[in-house]
Amino acid sequence: MLPTGTTGDRLVLGMAGGGDFRVIAAQTADSIELARLRCDLSPVAAAALGRALTSAVLLARLLDKQVPEQHVSLRLEGGGPLGPVIAEATIDGRVRGCVGNPQYEDTDCDVGLAIGTDGNLTVVRKSPPLMKPYTSQVRLVSGEVAKDVAHYLATSEQIPTALLLGVLNRPTGVAACGGIVIQSFPHTTTKTIEAVEKAILDAPPLSSLLAELPIHHAVARVLGSVGYKQLDPSFDIPIEYHCRCSREKALQMYRYFPPQELGEMIGGGTDTEAVCHFCGMRYIFTPDDLLGLELGTEN
Ligand SMILES: [Zn+2]
């Protein structure tokens, strides 16, 4: 498990246009930088995962079912060289994610090409105590993540939204990462929706705003004259990169190995290493650890 600590990452809530729009925004740079360091992500992998993780934490709040442990996962699989991108978030701000080929390099940092469009975005929601999954799938439309998630919200959830995502990589690491989702209501007029669309078009890229401003100021800057009012900061939700892996869970994975292969690992006399794709944690198991597992299976 990763050490947890206080970062500047958080999710903020607000309204725009005097109540015509619900706004949810997240600042996630510290979490993505931690993921980059622990999983050795290339810049384009960090950009893709940053967009996906930010989307997941925004969706967990947007699709609020008033369940404290509601869990949302996104899987973007478009056949591109980056492989699948997986992002998970809980409604209380814990995120984790991974990419298929974390070291894939692209000098243009083109997330759309890296993810590809020959495939689907799959969204799974689970709520305790039953954790029965609700799965929804749409075709990828751009591989850029924001358009894909907005397309999912419009078609699968019938929630009209604008979604902005931004990640800024510097040679030293992830300098900025975050996102804003702006949801209109049935009473919102076409004129005010057009005003928001124009404000978004006229605003500087979100990644450059987030490099200079905290998230709530960046949202106010994007919405400009439409007007943004943040809810009391006591409603802010801290976001942290949190992996649920453990030595015991990693060991239990070997139960699914073919018996012959497990037997060879035990008989080989050397230690076995398992690496968590979500946080880079390495777990070492001795032949005796695996033998105990095998004996346990027989009982
Ligand atoms: Zn882990």
Q: What is the pLDDT of residues 13-60, one digit of tens each?
A: 999 999 999 999 999 999 999 999 999 999 999 999 999 999 999 999
C-alpha 155 – ligand 1 centre gap (Å): 33
Residue 246 Cα to ligand 1 middle (Å): 7
In the reported structure, the alpha carbon of residue 65 is separated from the centroid of ligand 1 by a whole-number distance in angstroms of: 27
pLDDT (tens digit, 9 = 90+) per residue, 77-121?
999 999 999 999 999 999 999 999 999 999 899 999 999 999 999
Question: For the chain, first and last CA: distance in Å?
Answer: 30
Flag whether pLDDT at 279 surpasses 90: yes
The pLDDT tens digits for 131-168 are 788 899 999 999 999 999 999 999 998 998 999 999 99
Same domain, 141 and 218: yes
The closest alpha carbon to 114, from 98, 102, 96, 124, belongs to: 102
275 in the same domain as 147? no
Surrounding residues of ion ligand 1, Cβ less than 5 A: 243, 245, 276, 278-279, 281
Same-domain status, 187 and 93: yes
Question: How many angstroms separate the alpha carbon of residue 190 from the centre of ligand 1?
Answer: 46
**Does residue 27 fall inside a structural domain?**
yes
pLDDT of residue 296: 59
Handedness of CA 26, 27, 30, 35 (dihedral sign): positive
Cis peptide before 205 (omega within 30 of 0): no
pLDDT at 5 over 60: no
Whether residues 119 and 168 fall in one domain: yes
The rounded Å distance from CA 216 to ligand 1 centre is 31
CATH number of the structural domain spanning residue 205: 3.55.30.10
User: Which helix (DSSP H) or strand (DSSP E) does residue 264 occupy?
Assistant: helix 259-267
Query: 1-10, 106-115, 226-235, 284-293: lowest mean pLDDT where?
Result: 1-10
CA 62 to each of CA 23, 57, 105, 106: distance values in angstroms, whole numbers, following the listed order: 9, 9, 33, 32
Which pLDDT value is given to residue 4? 43
Residues 160 and 268 in one domain: no
> Residue 108 has what DSSP assignment?
T
Same domain, yes or no: 141 and 270: no
Q: Which of 227, 179, 166, 224 is nearest to 198 (CA)?
A: 224
- Which residue, 226, 241, 256, sits at the end of a domain? 241
CA dihedral 99→100→104→106, nearest 10 degrees, is -60
Q: Which domain holds residue 146?
A: 10-241
User: What is the pLDDT at residue 3?
Assistant: 42
Would you say residue 2 has pLDDT above 60? no
Mean pLDDT along residues 219-239: 93
**CA 227–ligand 1 middle distance (angstroms):** 41
- In the prediction, which pLDDT does 132 show? 81
In a domain, residue 75? The reply is: yes
Ligand 1 centroid from CA 198, angstroms: 42
| Span from the CA of 267 to the centroid of ligand 1 (angstroms) | 28
pLDDT at residue 72 greater than cutoff 50: yes
Please report the pLDDT score of residue 234 as a whole number.
85
Query: What's the number of CA atoms in the CB half-sphere (13 Å) around residue 247?
Result: 7
Look at residues 235, 201, 271, 290 and name the one whose alpha carbon lies nearest to residue 15. Answer: 235
Q: What is the C-alpha to C-alpha distance for residues 294 and 255, in angstroms, rounded to an integer? A: 7
Q: Are 27 and 172 part of one and the same domain?
A: yes
**Quick check: is 2 in a domain?**
no
Ligand 1 center to 18 CA (angstroms)? 43
240 alpha carbon – ligand 1 mean position (Å): 14
Indicate if 195 and 258 belong to the same structural domain.
no
CA of 197 to the centre of ligand 1 (A): 39
* Residues 151 and 211 placed together within one structural domain of the fold: yes
Domain end among 193, 225, 241: 241
How far does the centroid of ligand 1 lie from the alpha carbon of residue 32, in Å? 14
- C-alpha distances (whole Å) from 157 to each of 2, 58, 177, 287 are 33, 14, 25, 49
Cβ count near 7 (within 10 Å)? 17
Give the pLDDT mean for 262-267. 89
* pLDDT of the residue at 96: 97
* Ligand 1 centre distance from Cα of residue 275 (Å): 8
Q: What is the pLDDT of residues 178-209, one digit of tens each?
A: 999 999 999 999 999 999 999 999 999 999 99
In the reported structure, the alpha carbon of residue 60 is separated from the centroid of ligand 1 by a whole-number distance in angstroms of 20
Residue 286's CATH number? 3.90.1280.10
- How large is the average pLDDT for residues 229-240? 91
| Phi-psi group of 231: left, alpha or beta (phi > 0 → left; psi -120 to 50 → alpha; rest → beta) | beta
**CA of residue 138 to ligand 1 center, whole Å:** 28
Number of domains in the chain: 2
pLDDT of residue 8: 87
3-state SS string for 175-239: EEEEEEEEEECCCCCHHHHHHHHHHHHHCCCHHHHHHHCCHHHHHHHHHHHHCEEECCHHHCEEC
Measured CA to CA, the distance from residue 138 to residue 119 in angstroms comes to 9
The DSSP letter of residue 150 is H
My answer on whether 233 and 287 are in the same domain is no
